[in-house]
Amino acid sequence: QQPVQSPQAVILREGEDAVINCSSSKALYSVHWYRQKHGEAPVFLMILLKGGEQKGHDKISASFNEKKQQSSLYLTASQLSYSGTYFCGSEGAGGTSYGKLTFGQGTILTVHP
Amino acid sequence: DTGVSQNPRHKITKRGQNVTFRCDPISEHNRLYWYRQTLGQGPEFLTYFQNEAQLEKSRLLSDRFSAERPKGSFSTLEIQRTEQGDSAMYLCASRTTGSGTEAFFGQGTRLTVV
């Protein structure tokens, strides 16, 4: 089963913050976050392993709650370049699910000046 | 490291024809994935390989779809008797084995079935 993302779309003004959520019904080994701009391939942002760690990259950070099988992506002080579709990818924790990477339906983020 | 390469970038075919796409992963990557993406949707998992072994194929995938990865290097995805519903972007991604490894995507092959 693919992970479920919310919200489906977010509209921001430059400098505002946003949170994108990702949840799974299955036990997860890792969560991956990607951003895709129109007509381009998805680009890796960060990966989180089970253990509840939080990672950050510039003004974009993420958390992973293993028990709840949820991850959140935090975008602070948004910039125009943050616009795009954000996908979370989940990697299962056991059996053939380990190594299998499935993606959510995406969250469209639009940042206006 | 030249990245993941997919060919062709675009393919237009008539309904009922067979098509084959190729993916060349990053050389040291032993995991390779195929996805299908339609407008406004996330990448839909099709299948994945570890070296030459196909570990899983989506149950949503009809028997018209087949993928191979001979010798654990490049991979091909074939669609037989194409239908208009097969029109989509087909993405390939690769990664190394191990915990916490990122997947790198190719630019994709856009298939249009007319």
How high is the pLDDT of residue B112?
98
pLDDT of A99: 81
Closest alpha carbon within chain B to A87: B42
Confidence band of A27 (pLDDT split at 50, 70, 90): confident
Residue A29's CB: how many other CB atoms inside 10 A?
18
pLDDT (0 to 100) of residue A94: 66
Q: Determine, for residues B104 and A44 on separate chains, whether the beta-carbon distance falls below 8 Å.
A: yes
Residue A53: per-residue pLDDT: 64
What pLDDT score was predicted for residue A56?
A: 67
Is the C-alpha dihedral spanning B66, B61, B91, A63 positive or negative? Answer: negative
Q: What pLDDT, on the 0 to 100 scale, is given for residue A97? A: 65
Q: Could you give the percent of chain B with pLDDT greater than 70? A: 98
Residues of A in contact with B108 (CB under 8 A): 41
Nearest by CB to residue B100, choosing from A41, A47, A105, is A47
Is A7 a residue whose pLDDT tops 60? Answer: yes
Burial profile B74-93: b = 16 or more Cβ within 10 angstroms, e = fewer = bbebebeebeeebbbbbbbb
pLDDT digits (tens, 9 = 90+) for B66-95: 999 998 899 999 999 999 999 999 999 999
Instruction: Let me know: does B80 contact B54? Beta carbons within 8 Å.
Output: no
Whether A49 has its CB under 8 Å from any CB of chain B: the answer is yes
A41 interfaces chain B, CB cutoff of 8 Å: yes
Rounded average pLDDT over B22-35:
95
Looking at every residue in chain A, the average pLDDT score rounds to 89
Q: Is B6 exposed, middle or buried (0-12, 13-18, 19+ CB in 10 A)?
A: buried
* pLDDT digits 0-9 by tens, A43-66: 999 999 876 566 667 789 999 888
**Residues within 8 A of B (CB atoms), A 5-24 only:** 5
* Nearest chain B alpha carbon to A92: B99
Per residue in A66-101, is it b (16+ CB within 10 Å) or e — as a string?
A: beebbbbbebeebeeebbbbbbbbbbbbeeebebbb
Write down the mean pLDDT value for chain B.
93
**Chain center to CA of A5:** 8
pLDDT at A59: 86
Interface of B with A in 15-74 (CB under 8 A): 31, 33, 35, 40-45, 48, 50, 55-56
Q: What was the pLDDT predicted at A95?
A: 63
CB atoms within 10 A of CB A1: 9
- Residue A93, token pair as written in the block: 């924790």
